[in-house]
Structure formats: C-alpha cells, structure tokens
C-alpha cells in the first residue's frame, strides 16, 4: 500500500466545536487506518487571549494565532475547519475557499440562506471541497433507518415527527452571548437546532413542498457577560439586555412525496438534555430513533397493520460506518464519533475530488427551510422553501 499523503489543516475558532474538530482529526487514523490523505495540525486561530496557545499546547498545532487571516494567507495550509460563531461563517468561509483551501464548516453556515449560498458558490468557483457539520445523519442507526425507508420495508411514508429539544438555554441566568443576538446569532434555535432537523427531514424523507411555522421567545431578558464566553456560560447581577431571536420553533410540513411532517426545536426545554430524534410512519410500519440511545433503532414492520409490535434493533457493523468504531452490535458510539465520520468524509472528498457526506449545498437547502419558517411566522401563511 502506498504511504498516505499529508494535508496541513487549520482550525478557525477554538470553542467547543473547534475542540471537537481537532479531536476528530487526531483520531482519524485510529478508525480509518487506510486513508489516502491524512491531516497534520498546522495552525489554530482564536481571538480570545491565550485560547489558541492552550489549544496548541494540548493538541500539538504547529502555530497558535490570534487572527484567522493568518491561516487564510498561509499557502501551506490546504484545509480549514471553520468553527467560529455564526456571524463569521460567511466572511471566513468565502475567504478560505477563495484562497484555495478546502473547508469543513459548522452549520448553519451564516445567518441566512444567502450567507450559506455565498460560501457554497465561493467553494464551487474555487474548485474546493466544502463539507458541513450535519453530524446526526452520520449515526449508523440513522443510516439504517434511511435504508429501511428507501427499500420500502415500511411502505410509503405517511407522516413523521422530528424533535430537537435541549435545555442549554433554559436557565434564566444564561449569559446574553452572541447566540441570543440577531446580528451575530441569526435566528436563534432555528439555526442552532432546527437546522439539524431540516437536514434530517430532507435526508430521510426528501424535499419539503411547503410549511407553516410558529416561534416564541420564553426568556426575553438575559444578563450581559463581563468577558469572553465559551459554551453556555451564566451571568448574574449585571446589565440585562433583550433576547433578539427565538427560543422555540414548531413547523408543520407538507412533503413533496405527499407525506406530512412536524419539526419542533427548543433550547429552553427543562428536563430535556439533547432530546433529538424522529418518529417516521409508513403505510405498513414505522421507525423510531433517539440520539440519547444512538445505537438503537425502533422498527415496526410486517403485515399486521393493527397491533403490530415494535422491535428494538441494535445497529452493528453492517450499518453506516459502525464497523470503523466497534466490532459487534450494541457497543455504544458517541457524539464525537459522528464528527470523526465527518472528518473522514471531508478528507475522502478532498482526495477523490467529489462530494462525500453532507456539503455546504445541503446547508443551503436547510437554510432555505429556515428562511421559509421565518417568512411563515411573519406572514402567517404556508410558504414554499426555495429549491
């Protein structure tokens, strides 16, 4: 076997997601030893004082930077993870692509479909690969569900429900970080969680014909942080400001196939920690998945129709990329493993010169769904997402 080729990678933004991307790069060859293209950690950039240096010390980046433009201007760096806040996605994404660097960018890729489209267009113009962080589609159980649906094992899809409930912003003392500002965080829970849901709906059920939506802000005021925030920090006693984007969204969708689908997302659901999943019903069966039991898939199939039982299937090496992580069914995988699969798809897409896994154009389609939700809320009408 030929020795693998190396590609120098940079990471722009080193909050939680920058760490996850870096760890995924570091683990790639543990799970995919035959990769033809392997990453070398070249540079990390973050404007928060000391953060890049700490990342460099821990993970072995060759250089620690404050300004992401230094990564853009380094011709030796061939690929970049863009894990900065949403409002920087378009600027960094278009700059890195135009500089000829392949990009792995986190969802939602900006603040609107226009932002995501600008990044996708820049990547196409530059001839670089552009992967996006829709990790939940990489779960082996989700891949198994997709196979069951596409094979017709549960008949024609009639209706479905997708839910993305979290409590990360449920505490009233949650700091008024960029996530809660329209100019920097976009449309709130729509971009943060509903974007994942929109991608899964399309990935499993196909195109959305039209939708009607409702949104709400349940915690309208929060305290401003006194310094840099990371993750979901708290702040008390200081000046308060308004929450400018939505805590909750619910949408009813008419699918192009004729199926009906409901998508709900909330960042303030007390008692719900990463309660992400779906229920998909067909004319002769159903599939059920909960991210918190990531390796399990509920399946009902057969010819009974009424009183037909549901079986729990433990996915194994025959589903998705499971075999790269565990040798037998029912051994647990985790969230970070899904990002390793993403990293593998990104590197393979660069090596082959063709898309592998979710691309920024998938982010454009998801963002068009979110934009349609916003328009529906504003008008009170059913809206057709752009196609």
Predicted confidence (pLDDT) per residue in 49-95, tens digit: 999 999 999 999 999 999 999 999 999 999 999 999 999 999 999 99
**ω into residue 229 within 30 of 0, thus cis?**
no
In whole angstroms, what is the distance from residue 261 CA to residue 163 CA?
11
Domains 5-135 and 137-333+358-379 share a fold: no
pLDDT, one tens digit per residue, over 174-208 is: 999 889 999 999 999 999 999 999 999 999 999 99
More confident site: 227 or 182 = 182
**Does the pLDDT at position 120 exceed 60?**
yes
* Other Cβ atoms closer than 10 A to 197: 26
Q: Domain spanning 5-135: which superfamily?
A: NAD(P)-binding Rossmann-like Domain (3.40.50.720)
The mean per-residue pLDDT over the stretch 296-307 comes to 96
pLDDT, one tens digit per residue, over 144-169 is: 999 999 999 999 999 999 999 999 99
The mean per-residue pLDDT over the stretch 237-258 comes to 94
Distances (CA, A) of 308 to 161, 278, 286, 311: 20, 19, 10, 10
**Does the pLDDT at position 98 exceed 80?**
yes
Instruction: Output the pLDDT for position 150.
Output: 98
**Does the pLDDT at position 39 exceed 90?**
yes
**Does the pLDDT at position 235 exceed 80?**
no
Least confident of 11-15, 237-241, 315-319: 237-241
More confident site: 225 or 246 = 246
Q: What percent of the chain has pLDDT over 70?
A: 97
Return the half-sphere exposure (C-beta side, CA atoms, 13 A cut-off) of residue 356: 14
Instruction: Output the pLDDT for position 386.
Output: 80
- Is 137-333+358-379 a CATH 3.40.50.150 domain? no
Distances (CA, A) of 76 to 8, 81, 98, 345: 7, 15, 15, 22
| DSSP 8-state code for residue 350 | H
pTM for the structure as a whole: 0.94
Tallying the residues shown for the chain, one arrives at 387
In whole angstroms, what is the distance from residue 220 CA to residue 248 CA?
12
In whole angstroms, what is the distance from residue 70 CA to residue 168 CA?
33
pLDDT, one tens digit per residue, over 320-369 is: 999 999 999 999 999 999 999 999 999 999 999 999 999 999 999 999 99
pLDDT, one tens digit per residue, over 364-373 is: 999 999 999 9
138 neighbors 282 (Cβ within 8 angstroms): no
17 neighbors 86 (Cβ within 8 angstroms): no
Instruction: Output the pLDDT for position 234.
Output: 78
Over the chain, what is the mean pLDDT? 96
133 neighbors 17 (Cβ within 8 angstroms): yes
Tell me the domain boundaries of the chain.
5-135, 137-333+358-379
133 neighbors 161 (Cβ within 8 angstroms): no
The mean per-residue pLDDT over the stretch 12-41 comes to 97
**Does the pLDDT at position 227 exceed 90?**
no
Q: What percent of the chain has pLDDT over 90?
A: 94
Give the angle subtended at the CA of 277 by the CAs of 273 and 278, to the nearest 5°.
Answer: 150
Token couple for 272? 């719900």
**Does the pLDDT at position 237 exceed 80?**
no
pLDDT band at 11 (very low <50, low <70, confident <90, very high): very high
Helix, strand or coil for residue 221?
A: strand
């Amino acid at each position: 076997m030929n020795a693998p080729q190396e590609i120098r990678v940079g990471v722009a933004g080193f909050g939680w997601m920058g760490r996850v991307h870096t760890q995924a790069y570091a683990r790639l060859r543990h799970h995919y030893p035959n990769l033809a293209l392997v990453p070398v950690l070249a540079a990390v950039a973050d404007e928060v004082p000391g953060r890049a240096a700490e990342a460099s010390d821990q993970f072995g980046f060759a250089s620690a930077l404050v300004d992401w433009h230094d990564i853009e201007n380094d011709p030796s760096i061939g690929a970049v993870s863009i894990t900065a806040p949403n409002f920087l996605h378009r600027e960094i994404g278009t700059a890195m692509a135009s500089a000829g660097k392949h990009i792995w960018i986190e969802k939602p890729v900006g603040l609107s479909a226009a932002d995501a489209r600008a990044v996708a267009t820049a990547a196409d113009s530059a001839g670089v690969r552009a992967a996006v962080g829709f990790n939940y589609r990489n779960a082996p159980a989700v891949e198994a569900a997709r196979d069951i649906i596409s094979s017709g094992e549960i008949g024609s899809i009639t209706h479905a429900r997708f839910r993305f409930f979290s409590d990360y912003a449920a505490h009233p003392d949650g700091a008024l970080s960029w996530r809660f500002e329209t100019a920097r965080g976009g449309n709130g829970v729509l971009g943060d969680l509903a974007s994942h849901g929109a991608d899964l709906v399309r990935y499993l059920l196909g195109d959305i014909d039209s939708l009607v939506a409702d949104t709400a802000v349940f915690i309208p005021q929060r305290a401003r942080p006194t310094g840099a925030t990371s993750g979901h920090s708290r702040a008390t006693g200081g000046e308060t400001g308004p929450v400018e984007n939505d805590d909750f969204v619910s949408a009813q969708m008419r699918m192009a196939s004729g199926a009906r689908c409901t998508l709900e997302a909330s960042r303030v659901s007390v008692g719900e920690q990463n309660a992400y999943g779906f229920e998909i019903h067909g004319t002769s069966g159903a599939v059920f998945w909960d991210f918190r039991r990531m390796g399990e898939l509920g399946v009902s199939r057969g010819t009974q129709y009424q009183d037909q039982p549901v079986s729990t299937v433990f996915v194994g090496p025959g589903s998705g990329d499971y075999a790269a992580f565990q040798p037998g069914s029912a051994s647990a995988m985790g969230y970070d493993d899904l990002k390793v699969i993403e990293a593998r798809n990104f590197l393979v897409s660069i090596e082959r010169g063709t898309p592998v896994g979710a691309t920024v154009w998938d982010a454009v389609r998801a963002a068009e769904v979110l934009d349609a939700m916003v328009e529906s809320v504003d008008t009170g009408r059913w809206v057709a997402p752009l196609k």
